[in-house]
Every structure is written in structure tokens, then in C-alpha cells.
Chain A
Amino acid sequence: MNDNVWLIILGMTLVTYIPRMAPMVLVEAERLPDAVTRMLKNIPYAALGALIFPGILSVDQNIWFGVIGGIIAAMVAFSGAHLVVVVLASVGVLTVLNLGVF
């Protein structure tokens, strides 16, 4: 596991640095077609969706743990609260539920 994490870090370092470095150093980089630009901008939202679901359902053996935590997070985020508040609210509610109900 531990060697594996350093391997992951090494790989991530390369694939993060290269896209940042290439256009700065190879000055005459060609402009990408609009469709490609658009799709690149869309990737983070799609990635978020895939990261959240269905993984959130398995944070605990009890499926409701993830469901409730997710709903709380979504509601707090929708109200316009800061990211840190969103995380704290979700963790807070689940901690209380954990002590009492589950």
C-alpha cells in the first residue's frame, strides 16, 4: 500500500506538470478547436458526478448514512454556504446521528 501511494504520487506529478508546462515552454502552441476546448471545460463537472455517485452510498454499511450526509451537504451548499461549512455541517449531523440512532 505504502509503495503504491508513492507510485501514485509520482504518476500524478508527471501528468499534472506536463499539461501545465507544455504550452508555456512550446510557445507556438496551436489553438485547440472550440469543441475540444468546450469538452475540456466540461470534464470537471462530469468527474464530480462520477466521483459522488454511487460511491457515496458505500461510505458506511448503512446506506442511509451516505444518503443523509449527501442531502445535508447539497442543501447547505445550495444555500450558498462556504465549502468548509458544507463539509462541517454534513460531518456534524452524521456524528450526532452516529452517537444516537445508528
Chain B
Amino acid sequence: MPIALTFGLLAKNTGINLSHTLGMSLFVFAGASQFMALGMIAVGTGAMEIVISTFIVNIRHLLMSMSLNEKVTKASKWERLFCSFGITDEVFAVASTKEEKIGPFYLYGVICMAYSSWVINSGAGHLVGTALPASIQEGMSIALYAMFIGLLVPNAKKSKKALFLALTAGGLNFVFSRFLPTGWAIVAAALGSVLLIECLKFPVREMKDER
């Protein structure tokens, strides 16, 4: 819920109007991608790069939907078509931690709560942003980045791999952004970092397997 408020606030700060903010939360309904889109709009990225980045970040939902698919029994094709719209990270976390099989109505309930609070609080955040005094609004320019850091640090604390992935991607982006447009540099850096770390990891694991 505070995340949605933050989204609205940051959207206002990025210079996106209220209807776009609400529209994005209504239609896209994906926290991480929406923040990423703000980040890219803020540095003046084109639509194509934003959509491709969104797709890359959202491929992970394939995995979630796949695992949830085995859990949601008794749902028709149409119900699946409908409720799959609402499978966000949060809904997945709530639904997949249930021990027993779940029906479509349970899923509807979780999704309705998550969805309505996401949309309403996005709008509320935007309104709060408009009401802030100018001195605070200037300080707000850091907010999006503070949030990215706030998302990354707890993961980096737990896993060296997450830290390494982020540092590599940042470094690559620094290099790529010298000769690529910002958006493409971000896409290339993220993919490059993932591939690089996958390649570095492979020999290690194979050697272990041989012993």
C-alpha cells in the first residue's frame, strides 16, 4: 500500500499527469515495471525501450504463473484468462504460500484487494505530490533512486550474487551509456550482467559436479 502511494508521488515528480498515473496502475498493474518506466521516462527514454525493458523484467511472471497454474484447480479457461491479469509478485506470494489447492474465487479475492488498493493509492500519492511545498519537491528527485536502492540493498545483504549482478549491471551501463541511447544502454547492461554472471558461474558448478 505505501508502495502505491510512493508510485503516485514519484509519478507526479517525474512529470506524469494524474490520468496517466491512474491509467498505468489500472492497465499495467505491475509495481516493479511501473517504477522502472518512471525511471526511464525521467531520463528521457523512448517508448520502445521502456516496453522492451518491461517485457524483460516481466518474463519472470511466466514462472510464477506456471507454478500457480498447478495450484489453481477448478478454474475454467475463461476464468484463467481473466484472473491471470492480477498475478503480481504480491498476489503470487500470498497465493503460493497456501498449503492446499486454491479455487478461482480465492484468487479473485486476493487480486481485488491488491488491485483496488494499488490503483486508489497511486492516485492518492499523485495528489499528495501536488500538495507538497516546492522545497520538498526538489529533494524528491532522489526518491525514485532511493527506492531502487531500498529494494536492492536487503537482497544484496542476503545474496552476494544479487550484489554482484547489480554492480556489474551498473558498471556496464556506465560504459554502454557513452555510446547507446539511455534506454538501450539499460536493457543491454541488465542482460549483459545476467549473461556474464551465468557464464562465470558455469565452470565453477561443473568442476564441483565432476568431483
Indicate if the CB atoms of A47 and B138 lie closer than 8 Å.
Answer: no
Number of interface residues of B (CB under 8 A): 96
CA distance A93 to B136 in the complex (A): 10
Indicate if the CB atoms of A24 and B69 lie closer than 8 Å.
Answer: yes
B85 within 8 A of A: yes
Chain B interface helix/strand/loop/mixed: helix
Residues on A with beta carbons closer than 8 Å to the beta carbon of B157: 78
Partner of A25, one of B3, B47, B77: B77
Contacting residues of chain A (4-53) with chain B, CB-CB under 8 angstroms:
4-17, 19-25, 27, 29, 31-32, 35, 37-53
Residues on B with beta carbons closer than 8 Å to the beta carbon of A6: 20, 23
Indicate if the CB atoms of A12 and B186 lie closer than 8 Å.
Answer: no
Indicate if the CB atoms of A84 and B2 lie closer than 8 Å.
Answer: yes
CA distance A7 to B191 in the complex (A): 24
18 residue pairs of the A-B complex, CB under 8 angstroms, read: A5-B41, A16-B54, A23-B62, A23-B66, A24-B68, A25-B84, A32-B62, A39-B198, A42-B194, A44-B32, A46-B189, A49-B152, A51-B36, A53-B170, A66-B142, A77-B153, A83-B151, A87-B150
Residues on A with beta carbons closer than 8 Å to the beta carbon of B122: none
**Contact A70 B20, CB 8 Å, known A8-B37, A11-B54, A49-B166:** no
CA distance A54 to B145 in the complex (A): 11
Indicate if the CB atoms of B161 and A42 lie closer than 8 Å.
Answer: yes
Indicate if the CB atoms of A87 and B177 lie closer than 8 Å.
Answer: no
Partner of A2, one of B20, B37, B77: B20
Partner of B84, one of A20, A83, A93: A20
Indicate if the CB atoms of B23 and A9 lie closer than 8 Å.
Answer: yes
CA distance A2 to B169 in the complex (A): 31
B130 within 8 A of A: no
Q: A45-B156, A89-B146 are in contact. List 18 more A-B contacts (CB 8 A).
A: A11-B54, A12-B28, A19-B59, A20-B87, A24-B83, A40-B62, A46-B169, A46-B191, A47-B36, A51-B186, A59-B142, A70-B145, A70-B146, A74-B153, A78-B157, A83-B6, A87-B146, A95-B135
